Amino acid sequence: MNNLGKAISALKSGGFIVMHDAKGREDESDLICLAEKITPKMVRQMRKDAGGLICLAMDEKSSKRLSLPFAVDMLESAGNPLLYCMGNKCMKYGDKPAFTISINHLKTFTGITDNDRAMTIREFGKLVKRKGGKNDFKRNFRAIGHVFLLTSRGLGRRRGHTELSVALAELGGATTALVLCEMLSDTGKAATATESAAYAKRHGYPFIEGKEIVEAWSE
């Protein structure tokens, strides 16, 4: 089994993978799993071992089915000059963010605990899997919450962890709802690819480069 196959297999079996996007872009690695498979223990591992923001990425079709706008579009269309100015900017690596809104499941309390976030993430993953629509979404979730939703723009337009992880799921026939958390270093910076690969090796997780996914997607 090649590395791509190992990563897909790990995700579908409920495990983690570590993904590095590319040098010259963010040059960061994310700890990633399928949303529908997440547990409170996995949320705890993400916040303690990776340390970045825990986000939930989905494919563009699912986002459109739920009528989720990009956060930057909401800011630009709010009719507030300050918000327009704040939203009308690109990141230093050239892209606009993939963020939409943040949510909690209605059965959560504060929404921030490992148990609460696991419930929100897992139930959203199930929503995407069953191709639920707007009524299903608003009946079970609320905003603003503690799980940040991301929408893939597709690898043809953007090549961040959001797009790469969704593309990997699509290639493997998995549900296109994935949990991402940036891996940070004790240096005050993002973990290097070398540090992230070493972490993956210690834990037995597949380590995959973004270019491997792009190449498979392009075939």
Please list the pLDDT of the chain residue by residue as tens digits (219 residues). Answer: 799 999 999 999 999 999 999 887 888 999 999 999 999 999 999 999 999 999 999 999 999 999 999 888 888 887 788 877 777 766 666 677 889 999 999 999 999 999 999 999 999 999 999 999 999 999 999 999 999 999 999 998 889 999 999 999 999 999 999 999 999 999 999 999 999 999 999 999 999 999 999 999 998
Catalytic residues: 30, 55, 93, 104, 146, 182
What is the C-alpha separation between 90 and 68, in angstroms, rounded?
Answer: 20
Nearest Cα residue to 65 out of 2, 127, 118: 127
What is the C-alpha separation between 4 and 145, in angstroms, rounded?
Answer: 33
Specify the pTM: 0.93
CATH architecture of 3-218: Alpha-Beta Complex (3.90)
